Chain A
C-alpha cells in the first residue's frame, strides 16, 4: 500500500482503510528524556495538566491553613508573618500557577484537535512556555518553605511592597517570579493566536470554530495586551527596590496609585482570562450532554469578544475607595455594569442549550451546570460592587472574597473540572470513574457553598480581608466556623478527585474515539490521539462535523478513527524533540535570579540564554518534506 498516497487524494475519494484493532500507534517513547524534549502539544498539555493540578493542591493547602487559622477567634495556628505569606501565595498560586495553567493544558491539548491541525504553529516555543512556567512557578513557590515567601498580597500594593516597608527578599521573589511567568504566557499567546488564525483545517471558517477555541482566541489577545502592563508595573517596583529609582516614592513626587492603575489595567483583564476558558469548556460540554448544538452560537462568540474588549475598560472599579473623584467613579461604575450584559447573555444561552435538549447528568455536565449556577451568584455580587457608593462598604471586606471565590471557584474551577471529566478520555484513553466523579461534584458543590456563602455575611458585618485573626463578639465567629467546615469538605472532595484521577489513568474503562457522542473534530480521532493527530486532514462543512457534517467529513472521520498507522507509514513529518527550549527556559530563570544572587549571574545567564536561543533558532524543526 502506498504510504504517501493517502495525503494526496481528496478526502471524499479516499478508500476506507480497515484496521483490525483501532489502536494508537506512536513512535514516541515515553521516557523521561522524551518528556523533557517533547515538542508535541499533547504531551505539553499533559505536562501542564499535572503541574497545574500539583499547584492547585499547593494553593489548596494554603487555603486550608487560612481556614484553620480563621475558624475561630484569636487563634494562633501560624504566626502573623507566616499568615501573610500564606494568603499571598494562596492567591498567587491559584491564579498564576493553577487556574491559568489548567486552561493552558486544554489550550495545548485541545485547540489543534478542534481546528484540525497537527500541532501548534511553533511547537518549540510551546515547550518553552511550559518550562518557563514550571521553573518560574518553582522560583516563586519555594521561598515560602524557607520563611521568605512573598507576603505583600497577590496584588502587591505599594508602598507596602517598596524596600522601605518590605526590606527582606520576599517581595523580590514575587516581583521577579511574576515577570518570569509573564514571559511564559506571552509566548503562548503569540503561539495560539498564530495557530488559531492560520492552522484551521480547510472549511473551518472562524464562525465554524468550536466555542472553546473562540474563547481561547479572545483570551490570547487579552494576554498579549494585558501582560506587558503588569510587566512594566513590576519592572518599576523592581527598579525601585534594587536600583533606588523613584517610581513609587512619594517623597520624590511619585504616586502609589500608579502601581494600582498599572496593576489593575492588567488585573481586570486577567480575571476574564481566568474565566473565559472555563466558559468555553462549558460551551463544549453542555451541548454534548444535551444532544443538541449550543444555543445561539453567534451570540456566544460575539459576547466573548465583547467581554474581551470591555474587560480593558473597567479596571478602576478595584479603586473606588482611593479617591479618584466622581467622574472617574461614575465612568467605571457604568462600564462595570455594562460588562455584566455580555456575561449574563451567556448564562441564558447555556440554559437555552439544556432546556430544549435531552440532558444527561454526568460528572462533566454536572460540573458545568454547577458552574452556570455558581458563576451567576458570583456575578450578582459582582454587579453589586459596581456601584461606587455600595462598594465603599464592600471593598476590602469578606464580601469581596465571597464574590471572587464564587466566580473563580464556582466559575473557573468548576468549569475546568467539567473540562477534565470531559476531556480525560481524550488525553488518556480511559474514562474517569463516574461514581467517584459524582461524589466529587456533590461534595465540591456543597463544600464550596458552605465555605464561601457565609463570607457574604461576615463581609457585610465588617470583617476585613487579609486579617490574621479577629476578636470574639463581633458576630463573625459562626460564619467563619461554617466556612472552615466547608473548606475541610472541599479537601475531602479534592482527595476523591485525585484518587479517581490516578486510578483511572491505570484502570479506568477504555474510551474509544468518542465516548460522549460529541460533534466536534477532536472526537473524530482515537483516544489518546496518535502523534500526528489526523491521518487525513479533515475538510469541515459545519460547526459540528460529526452531527451535521457532509459525507466527506464523516468519511475522513472514519479514516482518522481507525487508521492505526504510524507517522512514517503515512508520510507525515513529525517535529524533532529537542532539549533547547528547556535549556533556554532554565538559563533565563538563572539570569533573572542573578538579581538576587549576584549581578555577575545576570550576564552569565543572559549569555547562556542567547546561546541556547541561537542553537534553537538555527536547527530545523522537523525533517525535510518530500
Chain B
C-alpha cells in the first residue's frame, strides 16, 4: 500500500523486508488462533446447558426443544465461497505481476484483469461475511448467544476473531482495488499484492481448520 517505489536495496537474504515481516506476523497469528481453537476444543462437551452444536437439547425448565445449532450445508457453502475467494486472489496477483504483457485473446484479457479479480476476491470475501452474519443472527434467534453457554462463548469468539480478520482483509483488498482504479497496479506493486495475498490465504487456511474442527468433527 505504500507508495515507496524503491525495493531493490541491499538485503542479507535477497528477500524483501515486508515478505519476512508478513511471515513473522502469520506465525504469531497462528499462536493466536491456536489458543482460540484449543479453548474451543477443551470446552467441547462441557457446556452445562444447551443449545449444542451437533445434538438437540431440551431445556428442562421450559421444555423448549433446541435442535443442533450448526448448519453444515450452509456453512459448507460459505466455506466454498471463501475458498473461491482465494482462487480469485491468486488470479489477482497473477494479473498484477503480468500487467503490461500482451493479451492475445478474450481469455487472457479476462485473466489479466486485476481490477476484476480484486473485485471478485472482495466480493467473495463479503459473501462469506454475509453468510456468517446470517448464520450468527439465526443462531441468536434460535437461542444461542455469546453468553448462553461455553459453546456460545467459545464459538462466537473464535469465529468472531476470524470474521474480524476477514473484514480487515476485505478492507485491504478494497483499498488495493481503489489504488488500481486511481493509478493502476503493475509489477512494481507485486510485492504489496503478494503480501496481501499471503494474509488472505492464511485467513482462509484458518477457516479450513475451524470448519473441520468445529463443524465437521463431532
A interface residues with partner B (beta carbon < 8 Å): 121-122, 186, 189-191, 193-194, 197-200, 202, 204, 224-229, 231-233, 235-236, 239, 243-247, 251-255, 258, 262, 537, 614, 617-622, 624-625
Contacts and interface: CB of A to CB of B under 8 A. Distances in A.
Interface in B8-24: 9-13, 15, 17, 20-21, 24
A202 B11 CA distance: 9
Contact of A253 (B2, B6, B29, B48): B48
B191 to A, nearest CB: 14
Given A239-B153, A624-B5, A198 B32 contact: no
Contact of A232 (B13, B17, B25, B32): B32
Given A197-B12, A225-B27, A228-B31, A245 B147 contact: yes
B157 interface: yes
A243 B25 CA distance: 29
Nearest to B160: A239
Given A225-B27, A253-B48, A258-B42, A198 B157 contact: no
A329 B35 CA distance: 22
Contact of B6 (A121, A255, A619, A625): A625
Contacts of B39: 232, 236, 247, 258, 262
19 contacts: A186-B28, A190-B21, A190-B25, A193-B21, A194-B20, A194-B24, A198-B12, A199-B11, A224-B24, A225-B31, A228-B28, A231-B32, A239-B146, A244-B146, A245-B146, A251-B48, A254-B43, A617-B1, A618-B1
A228 B46 contact: no
B47 interface: yes
Contacts of B32: 228-229, 231-232
Contact of B46 (A245, A253, A618): A253
A122 B47 contact: no
A226 B12 CA distance: 27
9 smallest CB-CB distances across A and B, nearest first, come from A228-B32, A232-B35, A245-B153, A224-B28, A228-B31, A200-B12, A253-B46, A244-B147, A121-B17
Contacts of A233: 35
Contact of A246 (B17, B25, B42, B150): B150
Interface string B172-207: 000100000000000000000000000000000000
B3 interface: yes
A535 B157 CA distance: 52
A191 B25 CA distance: 10
Contact of A618 (B3, B5, B147, B154): B3
B28 A225 contact: yes
Given A193-B24, A232-B32, A253-B43, A198 B149 contact: no
B70 interface: no
